[in-house]
Structure 1
Amino acid sequence: MNKLDFLFFSKRREHHYIPPHFHECYELVYYYGSGETRIGKEFYSFREHTFALVTPFVEHDELHAAESDVLFVGFFSDREGLANLSGLYEDDEKRSIETILLRMKDEFMQQREDFSDMLNLMAGGLAIHLLRHIGTKKPLKQQTDRMQYVLNYMDEHFRQKISIPALADLAGYSYGRFRHLFKEKYGVAPLQYLYIKRLNYAKSSLLLHPDKLVSEIALDAGFVNDAQFCSMFKRENGMSPKRYRQLVKSGNLPETKGNL
């Protein structure tokens, strides 16, 4: 059975993150930009004219480094061998895979008579081309620096609620191992890293928005409440946020710590 399940062409903004998810069908994601993806337990760095093939029920996510287009399709196929090909691959010089996807996109957009049946036939053709194109090839080299992948995620989402166990799972390590490796590589514990990012963001907000309430800045930066923010701010900078703001206005701001 060969059947198209979905087809989309969209633009991803800079640092756009697609959280972990899976499909009941195969998914092929064709990239026109750069970034990182996790397919199952393997990490890859994608670039223009590479594509990810994800088999059914395999969890995957994406982090885009810059604004770019992406074309992705979901399809069902009973072709033997396809189920073992999860990974990131590079299109050939003729852009054979891209050509097939663009034809499918064109058929989908025009919706001529019996377009649904045609798309199902094209999904079957795509499965054959994938087997021919990557059936004898290995996926592109896996990204070995999993900690950098997680760090990029933290840099993008530090203002949101992030659990350290979830980050450890994202990196593929146990909680204890992740904390140890992170501190060894970056010099601070992962939770401390998040707090410093939030404090630096809050300091910038105090400068850029002199009339904004401290409580609003605290919540916007990702702190639980303004009490937590004020306590950590004073510990890291030797003064309260209010005093910091006063010194900024007077032009007598001393050098503070807390920068990464």
Structure 2
Amino acid sequence: MSRQIIPFPEKSFPLVVREVSGEFSEFAAIATHFHPEIELQYIFAGGGKYYIKNTIYPLKKGTLLIIKSNEIHRYVPNLKSPWIRKISIIFSPRLFKHFSSYLRNNIPISKFRHSFLFSQEEITVIEIILKNILRESTERNRNYRAIILFQLSHLLLTCQRNELPFRSKIVLSEKQDKVIKTIFSYLDSHFNSKITVNYLSNVVNLSPNYLSYLFKKITGIRLKEYLLQKRIAEAKIILEKEPQKKIIEISGDVGFDDLSSFNRAFKRINGFSPSQYRSFCILNRRKIRDF
């Protein structure tokens, strides 16, 4: 678990907007983390689950998440449909003060729910607002800061008007929350070690069967499969940063005992081999350099 440092393009306007898309392997290397900034995430397409504080929220098109200051969070994939497209808006709490007066009863951000689901009509409005914010933050034309703050006010007012309870969330007990945090933290730090369910069950003082059941129930993914995805995600990062490194060395670095197992897992998850991915990374580097 670590504090994430958010790099803002402008220190005088602490807000950053990111539109991202990709498969789980693009996000698996991001550990459980927190930051003092407020973060809004909207799902345009795809699914999965999101862990915030002590609750698991399912994701689908039209879900908006509000992650408050210093709340522990991380994305958990849906392996049946691992692709996701989302937009993230991260801003300093002091920026919130500039537009909070527009909100009903001047409600503080801490009083907002974490997750919202919208009707199709509301989704149309929300997506127009988000695309306007993305365009203004990218183009930075005259008065773009005021327009972004106005659009954020509109977005949060729409959330306030949305009173539908999020019934499918899973609220964890104190013990369950501690178990999940411990497992995530351990796998983030020791993914390249020899890890078994039996060993992890000793770490959290649960039976192997119950730990497997609890992890699958909460996250929607088997523990062994999550570890496998984590290792492959880390391998992709090494291939991107060190394309000259031998693939057999990389397989050992991320916790595989033999090269053939690594190659099979990599191809099953990504649809191409490690060597093909390395060639793709090298080609992309050349294109960027030549440009």
TM range (shorter): 0.5 to 0.7
Q: Are 1:47 and 2:63 matched, yes or no?
A: no
| Counterpart contact for 1:20–1:61, Cα < 8 Å | yes
Q: So what's the TM-score if we normalise by structure 2?
A: 0.52
For residue 114 of structure 1, what is the aligned residue in structure 2? 143
Aligned counterparts of 1:109 and 1:38: Cα–Cα separation in 2: 29
Q: Are 1:97 and 2:126 matched, yes or no?
A: yes
Q: CA deviation at 1:183?
A: 5.3
Q: Are 1:33 and 2:68 matched, yes or no?
A: no
Other structure's SS at 2:158 match: helix
Q: Are 1:161 and 2:192 matched, yes or no?
A: yes
| Counterpart contact for 2:40–2:88, Cα < 8 Å | yes
For residue 85 of structure 1, what is the aligned residue in structure 2? 112
Give the letter for the 1:12 counterpart: G
Aligned counterparts of 1:23 and 1:197: Cα–Cα separation in 2: 27
Relative to structure 1, the CA distance from residue 176 to residue 98 in structure 2 (aligned partners, 3 Å threshold; closer, same or farther) is same
Cα deviation code 1:125-184 (max 9, x no counterpart): 333222222xx332341147989x99xx89x989933798xxx99xxxx81137562256
Cα deviation code 1:110-134 (max 9, x no counterpart): 321121232223223333222222x
| Counterpart contact for 1:39–1:60, Cα < 8 Å | yes
For residue 9 of structure 1, what is the aligned residue in structure 2? 19
For residue 219 of structure 1, what is the aligned residue in structure 2? 252
Relative to structure 1, the CA distance from residue 137 to residue 82 in structure 2 (aligned partners, 3 Å threshold; closer, same or farther) is farther
Q: CA deviation at 1:8?
A: 0.8
Relative to structure 1, the CA distance from residue 219 to residue 24 in structure 2 (aligned partners, 3 Å threshold; closer, same or farther) is same
Relative to structure 1, the CA distance from residue 57 to residue 114 in structure 2 (aligned partners, 3 Å threshold; closer, same or farther) is same
Aligned counterparts of 2:77 and 2:15: Cα–Cα separation in 1: 24
Q: CA deviation at 1:71?
A: 0.5
Instruction: Give the greater-gyration-radius structure (CA).
Output: 1
For residue 68 of structure 1, what is the aligned residue in structure 2? 84
Give the letter for the 1:25 counterpart: E
Give the letter for the 2:89 counterpart: V
Relative to structure 1, the CA distance from residue 184 to residue 109 in structure 2 (aligned partners, 3 Å threshold; closer, same or farther) is closer
Q: So what's the TM-score if we normalise by structure 1?
A: 0.57
Aligned counterparts of 2:72 and 2:148: Cα–Cα separation in 1: 26
Unaligned runs of 5+ in 1: 187-191, 202-212, 224-228, 231-260
| Counterpart contact for 2:17–2:88, Cα < 8 Å | yes
For residue 165 of structure 2, what is the aligned residue in structure 1? 138
Query: What is the RMSD of the two structures over their aligned residues, measured on CA atoms?
Result: 4.4
For residue 238 of structure 1, what is the aligned residue in structure 2? none
Relative to structure 1, the CA distance from residue 57 to residue 163 in structure 2 (aligned partners, 3 Å threshold; closer, same or farther) is farther
| Counterpart contact for 2:33–2:72, Cα < 8 Å | yes
Give the letter for the 2:110 counterpart: A
Q: CA deviation at 1:34?
A: 0.7
| Counterpart contact for 1:5–1:25, Cα < 8 Å | no
Aligned counterparts of 2:228 and 2:138: Cα–Cα separation in 1: 44
Other structure's SS at 1:27 match: strand
Aligned counterparts of 1:114 and 1:214: Cα–Cα separation in 2: 51
Cα deviation code 1:50-100 (max 9, x no counterpart): 121111111111134322311111234244143122422212212132221
For residue 8 of structure 2, what is the aligned residue in structure 1? none
Cα deviation code 1:183-219 (max 9, x no counterpart): 5679xxxxx958x969xx9xxxxxxxxxxx9974861
Give the letter for the 1:13 counterpart: E
| Counterpart contact for 2:51–2:74, Cα < 8 Å | yes
For these two proteins, the number of residue pairs brought into alignment is 192
